[in-house]
Amino acid sequence: MSSNQEMQNMKKLVLQKENMQTNASLPPSVDQIMNHSQTIEKGSSNPTKVRRVQGSNMCKQVASLEIGQKLKVNFYNNRTVGTNNNLFLRHLGKIVRDRNICPLGVSSWHDIKQGKLNHMWATVEHKFESADMNDYRDHILGWMNELWNKWRGHLHAKYVKDKPIQQSLRNVPRGVDRKEWEWLARSTRNAANRAKLKMLHHIGSKPIRDFIYQKGGKDGNPPDLATIFFETRKKDNKIVEPDAIEKHAQLEEMVQADPSLPTTEIVEKCCGSQTRSHVFGFGGGVKAKDLKSGTSSKAELLFTLRSTREHIKSLNEENNSLNEENKSLTNRLSTLKDAMKEVMKMKELIMARQSHVPATTSSFSTE
């Protein structure tokens, strides 16, 4: 009897193992994805309690519409109401989560380009219609802005908050582009780090290097460090943070005392040794090693070389222009010479004819 029970138990174990392998090898179907996912909450009172949560937003009813077919919606207080309201809302939610339509890696909704907004609106109009649809365009886009912010907040709370940054970067949510996710995950950490800074720059998303480039860097004559610091930290044309005011005064004093002092020396005297990936006052792209061991002179030489090439190009164009002008003048001079020869011939001919006229007149008078 015991041997039969053992055999039955072994058969059960084999069947269970085969079922587990079969289930593991089969991918989930669309219907399984559409169904509410199940999560098991284990606790002391009920260790096998199952809680159903909402699954992915597939919006099948909208996706299955035929070409040219649209759902009608009505608006009240700038939002949809009535029969297709839930479908409309789910469609908006699907749009803001679609990485091919709505970008995720931007600081705010206002940074999304107009072309992307037009694409989103066209995607809305492709599936829904109303007599006054265009009148509510801005309101609908504003609604999508709210959904977009809520989605980003959900991603942050689920994948980033209270988690190591490396874990957050590895755990890319489904349907999210990896590069945009890395930007978003790091930006939340950057926001926390930025809150600790005491000398904030006030140039928004514009890189400091862009400011330096526009203020003379492209010509090999970048502004001094005191000017860079003031222009990037000013607010209403003045520096307001006490630490920033003190630092700017220190930089300005050093620059005025010795304008020829290398930038590296000024930075290290004011801010200490620069050993991190970026150099104070230059933003991203410039590292400490780029300003040490003669590398800065190399950068200056590159600027000089670039400006020299541009100058040579300008001189060549000017030389070509002068050559063309010279050719034109030469042709005109040749034409004038030919004209003068003709004039001289005419003059000689006239003089020859005039030399015979007096003799003829004299003989006629004598007779």
Pick the closest to residue 230 from 257, 206, 251 (CA basis). Answer: 251
User: First-to-last CA distance in the chain?
Assistant: 178
Phi and psi for 150 in degrees, rounded to 5? -65, -40
Cα distances (Å, whole numbers) of residue 64 to 11, 25, 61, 127, 239: 46, 29, 5, 10, 58
State residue 137's pLDDT score: 93
State residue 166's pLDDT score: 86
Decide if 89 contacts 113 (C-beta within 8 A): no
Pick the closest to residue 129 from 180, 62, 228 (CA basis). Answer: 62
* 71 DSSP β-pair partners: 128
- C-alpha to C-alpha distance for 146 and 360, rounded to whole angstroms: 114
Decide if 207 contacts 282 (C-beta within 8 A): no
Cα distances (Å, whole numbers) of residue 21 to 39, 40, 174, 361: 21, 21, 25, 138
For residue 333, give both structure tokens: 């001079």
Decide if 198 contacts 243 (C-beta within 8 A): yes
Phi and psi for 123 in degrees, rounded to 5? -70, -35
Cα distances (Å, whole numbers) of residue 332 to 155, 163, 325, 329: 78, 82, 11, 5
pTM recorded for the entire structure: 0.41
- C-alpha to C-alpha distance for 181 and 168, rounded to whole angstroms: 9
Give the DSSP letter of residue 161. Answer: T
State residue 18's pLDDT score: 44
Q: Helices (H), strands (E): how many in the chain?
A: 13, 6
- C-alpha to C-alpha distance for 176 and 99, rounded to whole angstroms: 6
Q: C-alpha 214: how far from its chain's center?
A: 18
State residue 37's pLDDT score: 38
- C-alpha to C-alpha distance for 89 and 128, rounded to whole angstroms: 11
State residue 31's pLDDT score: 38
- Below-50 pLDDT ranges, the chain: 1, 13-15, 17-47, 53, 294-298, 360-367
State residue 268's pLDDT score: 77
State residue 226's pLDDT score: 83
**Other CB atoms within 10 Å distance of the CB of residue 152:** 16
